[in-house]
Amino acid sequence: MTIVMEEYLQMLINWFSLDNVLFEFLGQKVSSLEVTSTVCGLLCVFLAVRGKVANFWIGYIYNAVLFLLFYQTRAYSSMMLQPVSLAINFFGHYRWTHPAENEKDSKSRLKVTVFNTGQRTVVIAIILIFMFVWGYILSRVDLWFPSLFPAPAKVPYFDAFILGTVLMAQYLSAQKKLDCWFCWCIANVCNILLCYRLGLRLMTLVYAAYIVLAIGGFFMWLRMYKKQHYLDLRKQVEEKWAKENK
């Protein structure tokens, strides 16, 4: 029994290794780890676009898979994103399932809202500040912790910009802000460039698919927002009319 368990454990370890190649794509070897991250990622985004809470459950698995993927490709910033991303996933899961009374839509779910121009400016500033601070740390992480990071990080500032944009997109998604889809589009374009440089050709197509899903998500959430905005206005008019005719 012990031998069988050890064999299954070894198979599991091999599956989550970049060295376990399943096939070649555009002249590049594609591992089982990449395939797993692809399936989890697409399913997670698809469920988010549909406004399904199940996207968070898939997201937890996706975080773990991406952690392994980026560690093995030395994209340290993206790797260190995953524990934070996991925390935001928990936060979003709670927010979507426990909205305040004034945040509920017609189906008692967290309703879609939007930022104003001032709030969007703050979002951009936070991402840029984060990029310079975190990029500096990444450029020296191999010197500070050589046992954990034996090689220098690749494109640290670009990686940091992606990290900041993804974290912001996740936070806005957790709050069901329509603006999150703009962040997702920017992050996915940058991820295409990063994955191409890292030799993850399959992942470049996955992030291209994410862009398509993000555009679809924007229009779907926009429709939800307009519908709820109309219902909120009608409710306000009805309440005002009721008070005036007491």
pLDDT tens digits along 112-170 = 889 888 999 999 999 999 999 988 888 887 788 777 777 777 778 888 898 899 899 99
- Do 222 and 182 meet the contact criterion of CB atoms below 8 Å apart? no
pTM, 2 dp: 0.79
- Do 162 and 78 meet the contact criterion of CB atoms below 8 Å apart? yes
Give the chain's mean pLDDT.
82
Rounded to whole angstroms, the Cα distance separating 239 from 245 reads 10
pLDDT tens sequence across 10-25: 666 767 677 777 777 6
Q: Report which listed range, 80-84, 94-98, 197-201, 227-231, is most confident.
A: 94-98
The helix/strand count (H/E) of the chain reads as 9, 2
